Amino acid sequence: MQLQFSFIIPVYNRPDETQELLQSFEILQGDTPFEIVIVEDGSTIASKKVVDAFREKLDISYFFKENSGPGDSRNFGMQKAKGNYFIILDSDCILPRNYLNEVKKSLDRHYVDCFGGPDAAHNSFTNLQKAINFSMTSFITTGGIRGNKNSIDTFQPRSFNMGLSKEAFIASKGFGSIHPGEDPDLSIRLWNLGYKTKLIPEAFVYHKRRISWSKFYKQVHKFGLVRPILNKWHPSTKKITYWFPTLFCIGFLIALLLSFFNFNWGLIGYMLYFVLAFTIALINTKNLGVSMLSLVAIIIQFFGYGYGFLKSTFAVSMLNKKPETYFPELFFKSK
């Protein structure tokens, strides 16, 4: 099959990030043709002028629609696209020069209808962004929960860097209304339909993620809320590893309580963990400031996700609450 690539990028009030992403498209290496579909999801700060500036250099389309969330906007973009293989990106990403070459090389060697790529921190990112990136991707935190580079059929791609064939999109009807969590939900439904997924380690993007501690906490807290809902929708995908952040937090509270009775071995264990995390961050980033901030990011990630996971598990699994009613902030209504 001759692959025809269409990049699908939903945008919401982020013209500056859109400009940076489109600039990275200009210097992509290789001769693989592609189109770009920008979907403005009801923004009040539009990116149209930014997009117009690239029309002579890139094969690019721009659509404005009412706000209905990123999942529905991606579906909208895929319906408008001309290609037979879609690559979905978040607007806060930057592509390395060899990105599309790596995607095509991997799909030519071992074709799958859905792939995911990892993310990395660009040199231009702030120390805060680099610290959050380390926390979200490191094996010592929760970075390995959704799979590893050898995962076939079990890797759950994330929609900041995800490929999906037109055939699989039509069969699955694309993303659902939950957000976040629409990407693992799609992956699981694709497996049930017989489609395969994989990670392409070389097809990474530079992902800025959140730019403040409060936004980062809100993001990981929602991740924690979503996972028990996905577990209820797809019981066969439950993993004990999804409990790790919650158990980490509960264990810390127990260790803290025991320290009042001079049982300090628990706190010593946590101290050793953070020393190890700091050391790995320092080796990876070679930046003392980033390594210190990485410890803060890990704490926020574990407690934000862990608390959200516990709260959602209690509501959805124990009280049998309907997720759409109990957590309405996690669901968009399609337009």
Model pLDDT for residues 62-72, shown as the tens digit of each residue: 999 999 999 99
- Nearest one of 75, 64, 12, 6 to 34, comparing CA atoms: 6
- Give me the domains of the chain, ranges plus CATH numbers: 5-126+146-211 (3.90.550.10), 228-330 (no CATH)
Q: Are strands 161-165 and 85-89 parallel, antiparallel or unpaired?
A: antiparallel
Model pLDDT for residues 97-119, shown as the tens digit of each residue: 999 999 999 999 999 999 999 99
When pLDDT is cut at 50, 70 and 90, the band that residue 334 belongs to is low
Model pLDDT for residues 131-149, shown as the tens digit of each residue: 999 999 898 887 644 444 5
Mean pLDDT of 234-241: 90
- What is the crossing angle of helices 213-233 and 288-312, to 10°? 40
Percentage of the chain beyond pLDDT 90 is: 87
Going by C-beta distance under 8 Å and a sequence separation of 6 or more, which residues neighbour residue 170?
A: none
- What predicted TM-score, i.e. pTM, was given to this entire model? 0.90
CA 103 – CA 106 distance, rounded (Å): 5
